[in-house]
Amino acid sequence: MPTRGDRHLRAIQLAKQLAELGARLKTIHSITGLPPREVQRLFFADPRTIPRGRAPDSTEWYHNANLILRTDACLIGAKYRQLRGQGLTAGEALVFAYRAYQAATLPPYRISLDRAFNLVSYIDGIWLARTPTLSVLTCPGCGCEFIAAIGTVARSGETCPFCKLIERFPLDHRIQASYPAHPAVESIERQQGLLALFHKLSLDAEGETPAE
């Protein structure tokens, strides 16, 4: 049985990881239960380093976001769901899912840790959310996991951002720059390159999972 000391130590370690990933004091407090003052004292000795500005709070953000942001969000959401299924705590799953997302894309990261915190709150119905309003589905078309409003039935092409991404990839330079897949002359090869990339991303992300 973990002692109170063990739990406190784990909370402090988690808070440190969250602070390093750019989380706000309030976010760290919600996840670890540590008082914001203590978090500040331990990890933000220089007040200028405290993350400022309005925290992301919209539940509608995902539905209104552009394709690239939705794809990013799905990478985080799918990884989070998978890690929760493996028995990780919500806080640990968020940290690992966010790191896997960072490993899969290039800085500057389009989704902040606070945004990821907001998203997974609505997937699990915890922290910011009273009940789940988002779920992670598997697309029958491309096999990728994506986020949708709870109650959505998974159909290929309609709600899956990856199907849209694969379709638009050969034509859209912004998407190509966002997800640097292997350059290929033929568009079909590009599509396969992108699928291979996402396959690789999910494998890489698995490598990040701690041995339990």
Answer yes or no: are the C-beta atoms of 67 and 161 closer than 8 Å.
Answer: yes
Shortest CB 24 distance to Zn ion, Å: 33
| 3 state SS of 2 | coil
Nearer to Zn ion, 114 or 145 (CB): 145
Peptide bond into 210 cis (omega under 30): no
The amino acid that residue 43 corresponds to is F
CA distance 10 to 14: 6
Shortest CB 191 distance to Zn ion, Å: 12
**What is residue 190's DSSP assignment?**
H
Shortest CB 162 distance to Zn ion, Å: 4
| 3 state SS of 157 | coil
Shortest CB 78 distance to Zn ion, Å: 12
Interface contacts to Zn ion, rule CB under 5 A: 139, 141-142, 160, 162-163
User: SS3 helix, strand, coil % of the chain, rounded to 5?
Assistant: 55, 5, 40
Nearer to Zn ion, 93 or 166 (CB): 166
Nearer to Zn ion, 28 or 165 (CB): 165
Nearer to Zn ion, 117 or 162 (CB): 162
